[in-house]
Structure 1
Amino acid sequence: MKRLIFLLLVFIIGCSSITSVSEPKESIYTQSPENTIDPYQLADNLEFNEVWAYLMKGEEDRIKGDEPITDLCYFSAKVSGRGQIVGEYAPPDIKFNNKIRYHIVIAVIDNFALMHFVLNPNLPVRKNFINDICKVATKFDGVQIDFESVAASDAAWFFSFLKELRAALDKNKMLSIALPARRTRIADAYDYPSIAAIVDKVIIMAYDQHWSGSSPGPVAGLSWCKEVAEFAKSFIPKEKLIMGLPLYGRAWQDKNFNKSVHYKHVEEMIKTSNIQPHYDPENGAYFEYEEKIKVRVYFTDQRAIVDRLKLYSSMSIENVAFWRIGQGPSGMWQGISTKSL
């Protein structure tokens, strides 16, 4: 009898083993973290003609030298209030596995008065500024203009400045420009077709869809990126167009406590919160209290990078740029290649 029970148990165990073998296995992506393979690491190879990347001066240690980039934009040459380039600039001493081109970035981000001054064709400062740019360019393969504070009223001066700069630069030096993202044509100083007709390359800064002063939202939402790319493609030749991708994120809090307060409001806060104020002769009266806030962070991970690269690739966009090296996730270069490497 015991022998019969034993044989019956063996038969049941054997059947259950056979059944378990035939059952479908769990997806690899639901396994424990140490065994998980990021599906975005397994994506098809994304190949572009050119891959540009920005490097901030002083952050040279962020580069390994094995990144699949064709062009490195060195950010940035300093422009004085007199419209002069201050300091000496040379390409960073980095050993890359492949030959790349170096571009010095001439940036004026938020100084409309300075732009109005240096772009004025009736002032000698403009010609001197162009000469300074040409001198800085001698050690680089190209120059990139990043003037983000040109008034609409100075548009004609800006376009003629770019023409004059292109004529003054060595013909073997590349002239590129970084332009803000647009989804429609507006009357400002960054008219895509006018500028694309002058320069060699146009980098569209397809980021800051939402910024520090806006409501919370993605730095570069996918559908927004598509609209920006479609608009850029309609005005910029394929060989000149470079779509920029952000590697940074932004954080928003639902309450902002940095504000001026009236004494009446202070009295109400002390009364309702039962706060005990303090006083010292040097700093005056003050008090502290705790407040709960909610913070929302939008950031760029590997998935976001791959999704945007796939989008641009599907739109037959051949060139991309990353702002900036050191801000992105580790391993972000996996699966990216260039035809020239």
Structure 2
Amino acid sequence: MMTPNVWVWVGLSWTERIRMVLENYGDRLTDVSIFGWRVGSNGALEQTFDPSLLDVYRAKWPHLRFWLCFRNDGVGSVFTALRNDETARARLMSDLGDVIDAHPWLHGIDIDLEQGGAASNNVAAEALFKQVADLAHGRNMQASAALPALTSTGSVGGEDWVRYKQLGALMDHVSIMSYDFAWSGSAPGPVSPGFWLEEVYNWASSQITPSKISMGLPLYAYFWSIHDYPESWGATRRGISGTYYSAWQYFSGSRAWSDSGTHYPIGWVAYRDSLSMSAWGFLDCYDWKEPTQWEDSSGVFSGVFANREYAVRYGLPAGVPQWSVSDNSVGSSYVDYEFNAEPVIASNGDTVSPKVGYTLTAEIIQREPVAATIIDDYATSTQQLNAVYTQPSGAWAYQAVTSSYNQYRGTGTLRFGNDFGAQSLYAMARFQFATAGRFSVTSQGITAELSSAGELKLLRGSTVLATKQFGAQVVGGAAQVGRCVLGLRVRENSARVYFSQAETSIPLQLEVTTTPPGGPTEFSSTGIAWIDHAYLGDGWWYQPREAVEVTVNGVSKVLGRIERTGVTWDDKNRFKPDSDVEESTTRETGLSLDWVYAHWKDLPITTGVNTTYRVRPLDHDLWLGRLMALDRDGASIVYFTDATTITHWRGRAVLDWGLQGIALWSLGQEDMRLYETLEGGLLPANTKRLDE
């Protein structure tokens, strides 16, 4: 058994640290991909790094394999041109041949093309990759590619063109870029979270021969500023990247958070994330609480998602009396946290606290407003089925799929058991096609209909008003596989249809101006359908899911409330548009379904004094994360990779999935202790390990 390969990229920069690694630790490496050529939309290669700078290391370490890496720097238009323009491809092949002629010692060609777009581009992309691989093989060389990270459900970056099985068959080697799950524009978190790496390599190793794969790992750090909104310092993102040693300097207290003199150099505690094995910590945070570390609470529950805790107030499942719009205002719900922003010891031994004051930062996950609830039904029981619906045709029955997941299964009509008259309503169902057919949502004589073939219709009675075509839907999948979400909003003079594959976001698909003729509100299926969530809400009034109120020392601040125009609020914390428009047009702020940070600058607290922070979840279904008392003029969350991180995943890459090894992006940013763990990284081919 050979020791795992260690692949690195060189050429992004050329620093003394990079040269030191190549000079002293070349025996720990196996492959060096020269990140040295940029391809343009005409196929021409532009050299961005001089390969002759590597001559001394080629001479010293003759075992090293060097690769010609060409890239498009993530410019999608370049990738499109190379796929579609035969002349551009011919120029690329010619220029690649010229580089090989000039550097005959190269071992292979490494492709780094990103932002390839939709799945419809996959055949053309694979033809391009094959053309490059054929060129390499014709020169007695190998072909490699750096591929985006995918799971069985796709890419987090929208790289839908990638098909591992087809590309893996073409390439001799692939490095999977399994990093930047969290990045400068996202919420703070592990750059390569453990759960995601497991999903990526479970999938990749099932599609590509594992011995062809190198696990891509980050050598760098990300710093996310969390003390204020980015526009306050002229930025659009909270995050910036850095090296391991930049993180080490800050956490060791050898460097202050800011060089402007507004901060003291202070050493801060770093932690180890148990799943990703990356290090992380707060800079200039004087106290913080996990959402479940409350002293007292009422009406609030806790949960864990993706290894992160949250606190939440759930909405009522129905109005009282039944069929009325529920009162989901905050009522008496609250959470109390005890804080003490203690002074700390600076690097020079002085006892210090923030020079100016504090900011309270709250982590929250906001969701799109929901139609004010009349019925929110997760198919809970036979009693619920009989209490809420009638069945004028066909037959529906309750099915307990697992101890915590249920469905209504049937065919025909499932009608809400109330005559709403001319009331404006929103009705939605999450369902799946157990057999082929058409599923519909109807209210006031207006129908939204989806066929299993993917045709979406908006009808008034039997008259088709609008249509839209989607791909064929999953038919006959196991429970929860291939679910659809179909919603219908009917107002006095309009009808809107919403459709998606998940409730996290249900975009508007069809919209018409029409007068509803009237009639019951119901679901209907021509085949067998399985419904696991049915929702009925008011057609005008919305319940926001975005804000909390924090009270400290008698002073209160609302955090997270999104500014809206052209709306009217009622005394139950509900709002409605003043005209017949989509709710999204009343606000400029989008909702990301990621952790966002809301701030209370100049928090009214005193250093070293125990203080109760009362949090009232003004809106239901908002997730509250950590609360942090920070230096008002600068504080960060930092995630960084050290030697322990890389060593852990190197072992798992080989032992859990049988991969060829690891690929490190990029040389010069790393914890140099890494090379101690890679010492003796090569074994002669005829040497046996003790465990063989």
Structure 2 match to 1:329: 671
1:226 aligns with 2:198: yes
Structure 2: runs of 5+ lacking an equivalent:
237-600, 603-630, 686-692
Structure 2 match to 1:135: 98
Distance 1:47 1:222 in 2: 26
Distance 1:118 1:203 in 2: 21
Q: Check 1:339–1:236 CA distance in 2 against 1; reply closer, same or farther (3 A cut).
A: farther
1:252 aligns with 2:224: yes
Q: Structure 1 or 2: larger helix share?
A: 1
Q: Which amino acid aligns with 1:70?
A: T
Q: Describe the superposition over 1:296-317 as per-residue Cα deviations: whole angstroms up to 9, x where unpaired.
A: 1100112211221222232132
Distance 1:158 1:107 in 2: 14
Q: Check 1:307–1:219 CA distance in 2 against 1; reply closer, same or farther (3 A cut).
A: same
Q: Secondary structure at the match of 1:219?
A: coil
1:75 aligns with 2:417: no
Q: Please state how far the C-alpha of 1:144 moved relative to its aligned partner.
A: 0.4
Q: Please state how far the C-alpha of 1:47 moved relative to its aligned partner.
A: 6.4
Q: Secondary structure at the match of 1:162?
A: helix
Q: Describe the superposition over 1:260-286 as per-residue Cα deviations: whole angstroms up to 9, x where unpaired.
A: 9xxxxxxxxxxx99xxxxxxxxxxxxx
Q: Please state how far the C-alpha of 1:226 moved relative to its aligned partner.
A: 2.1
Q: Check 1:225–1:339 CA distance in 2 against 1; reply closer, same or farther (3 A cut).
A: farther
Structure 1 match to 2:51: 90
Structure 2 match to 1:154: 121
CA RMSD of aligned residues (A): 2.6
Q: Check 1:239–1:310 CA distance in 2 against 1; reply closer, same or farther (3 A cut).
A: closer
Q: Please state how far the C-alpha of 1:81 moved relative to its aligned partner.
A: 4.4
Q: Check 1:302–1:168 CA distance in 2 against 1; reply closer, same or farther (3 A cut).
A: closer
1:105 aligns with 2:60: no
Q: Which amino acid aligns with 1:120?
A: N
Q: Describe the superposition over 1:233-260 as per-residue Cα deviations: whole angstroms up to 9, x where unpaired.
A: 1111022111111111111011312269
Which deviates more from structure 2 when the two are superposed, residues 79-88 or residues 221-230?
A: 79-88
Structure 2 match to 1:319: 661
Q: Please state how far the C-alpha of 1:58 moved relative to its aligned partner.
A: 4.7
Structure 2 match to 1:3: none
Distance 1:129 1:217 in 2: 38
- Kept in 2: contact 1:48–1:320 (CA 8 A): no
Q: TM-score, normalised by structure 2?
A: 0.36
Distance 2:124 2:161 in 1: 9
Following superposition of structure 1 onto structure 2, how do residues 1-341 of structure 1 map, counting pairs within 5 Å?
48-56=3-11, 58-59=13-14, 61-62=19-20, 63-67=22-26, 68-87=28-47, 90=51, 92-95=54-57, 96-121=60-85, 123-138=86-101, 139=103, 140-152=106-118, 153-169=120-136, 170-186=138-154, 188-254=160-226, 255=228, 256=230, 257=232, 258=234, 291-315=632-656, 316-336=658-678, 337-340=681-684
Q: Please state how far the C-alpha of 1:189 moved relative to its aligned partner.
A: 1.4
Distance 1:89 1:239 in 2: 31
- Kept in 2: contact 1:208–1:220 (CA 8 A): yes
Distance 2:97 2:3 in 1: 30
- Kept in 1: contact 2:34–2:69 (CA 8 A): yes
Name the count of aligned residue pairs: 268
Q: Please state how far the C-alpha of 1:224 moved relative to its aligned partner.
A: 2.3
Structure 1 match to 2:486: none
Q: Which amino acid aligns with 2:78?
A: L
Q: Check 1:89–1:128 CA distance in 2 against 1; reply closer, same or farther (3 A cut).
A: farther
Q: Check 1:299–1:259 CA distance in 2 against 1; reply closer, same or farther (3 A cut).
A: closer
Q: Secondary structure at the match of 1:168?
A: helix
- Kept in 2: contact 1:66–1:97 (CA 8 A): no
Q: Secondary structure at the match of 1:234?
A: helix
Structure 1 segments of 4+ aligned residues over 6 angstroms from their partners: none
Q: Which amino acid aligns with 2:109?
A: V
Q: Please state how far the C-alpha of 1:181 moved relative to its aligned partner.
A: 1.2
Q: Structure 1 or 2: larger strand share?
A: 2
Q: Please state how far the C-alpha of 1:179 moved relative to its aligned partner.
A: 0.6
User: Sequence identity of aligned pairs in percent?
Assistant: 25
Q: Check 1:57–1:296 CA distance in 2 against 1; reply closer, same or farther (3 A cut).
A: closer
Q: TM-score, normalised by structure 1?
A: 0.71
Distance 2:66 2:81 in 1: 28
Q: Check 1:245–1:339 CA distance in 2 against 1; reply closer, same or farther (3 A cut).
A: farther
Q: Secondary structure at the match of 1:154?
A: helix
- Kept in 1: contact 2:36–2:50 (CA 8 A): no
